[in-house]
Amino acid sequence: MAKASSGRHEARERRPGSRNGLIRTIAVFKLVKALLLLVVGLGSLKLLNPTAAEAADRWASALAWRLGPRAASAVRDGVSNLSDSRLKLIGIVALLYAGLFAVEGIGLWKAKRWAEYLTIIATSSFVPFEVYELIRHASWQRAATLGINLLVVGYLVWKVRQRAA
C-alpha cells in the first residue's frame, strides 16, 4: 500500500514540473519579445541622430543585395518617411512594452502568481487589436500571433483556476 501511495505522490510531483516547463517557455517567449522591443526602441531613438540615420540607410542598401530590392526599398521607405516625433513615439512605446514584457517574463520565470495575472491581463488586452488587424489584413503571421496569445491566456487562466480549486 505504501508503494502505491508513493507512486501517486511521485506522479503528482512530476505534473507541476511539466506545467512549470510551459510557464518557463512562456517566460522565455516574453523575454525574447522584450529584447526585440528593446532593440526597436533604442534603434528608433538612435535614428534621430543624423549619423545613425546614414548608417541605417547604408544597412538598408546592403540588405537590398541579400533580400532583393523590393524588401529593402520597403524598409527604407517605411523608416525614412517617419518624422522625428513619430520616431520618438515609436521608441518610447517600444521601450515601455519591452519593460512590461520583461516584468512578465521574469515574474513567470520565478513562478510568481502576480505575473500570471499580469500576463493574462496584458496579453488579453492585445486580442481585440489583433482580431481587428487580422480582419483588416489577413495573414498567417497575424493568425499565428493571435493563436499563440489566445493559447497563452487560455493556459494561464486554466492554471490560475486549477490553483484556486
In this prediction the pTM is 0.72
Distances (CA, A) of 2 to 6, 7, 8, 113, 152: 6, 9, 10, 33, 38
Residue 12: predicted pLDDT: 44
Q: Is the pLDDT of residue 118 over 50?
A: yes
Query: Which residue, among 89, 116, 104, has the nearest Cα to 33 in the 3D structure?
Result: 104
If one counts every other C-beta atom within 10 angstroms of the C-beta of residue 105, the result is: 23
Question: How far is the C-alpha of 32 from the C-alpha of 60, rounded, in Å?
Answer: 24
Instruction: Give backbone dihedrals phi and psi of 37, rounded to 5 degrees, phi first.
Output: -70, -30
- Integer-rounded Cα radius of gyration of the chain: 21
Binning pLDDT at 50, 70 and 90, where does residue 18 land? Answer: low
Cα 98 from chain centroid?
8
% of the chain exceeding 70 in pLDDT:
72
Q: 35-65: per-residue pLDDT in tens?
A: 999 998 888 888 777 776 677 666 666 666 6
Q: 151-160: per-residue pLDDT in tens?
A: 999 999 999 9
In the 8-state DSSP scheme, what is residue 110?
Answer: T
Residue 60: predicted pLDDT: 63
Question: How far is the C-alpha of 129 from the C-alpha of 40, rounded, in Å?
Answer: 20
Q: Which of the given ranges, 12-21, 60-69, 81-90, 93-102, has the highest pLDDT on average?
A: 93-102
Binning pLDDT at 50, 70 and 90, where does residue 81 land? Answer: confident
Inter-residue contact 107 to 115 (CB < 8 Å): yes
Tell me the torsion sign for CA atoms 11, 19, 154, 141.
negative
Q: 133-142: per-residue pLDDT in tens?
A: 999 999 999 9
Contacts of 160 (CB under 8 A, 6+ apart): 113, 116, 117, 120
Residue 29: predicted pLDDT: 93
Q: What is the mean pLDDT of the chain?
A: 82
Give alpha helix (H) positions in 48-112. Answer: 50-67, 69-80, 84-109
| Mean pLDDT on 123-142 | 93
Instruction: Give backbone dihedrals phi and psi of 30, rounded to 5 degrees, phi first.
Output: -65, -40
Q: Is the pLDDT of residue 66 over 60?
A: yes
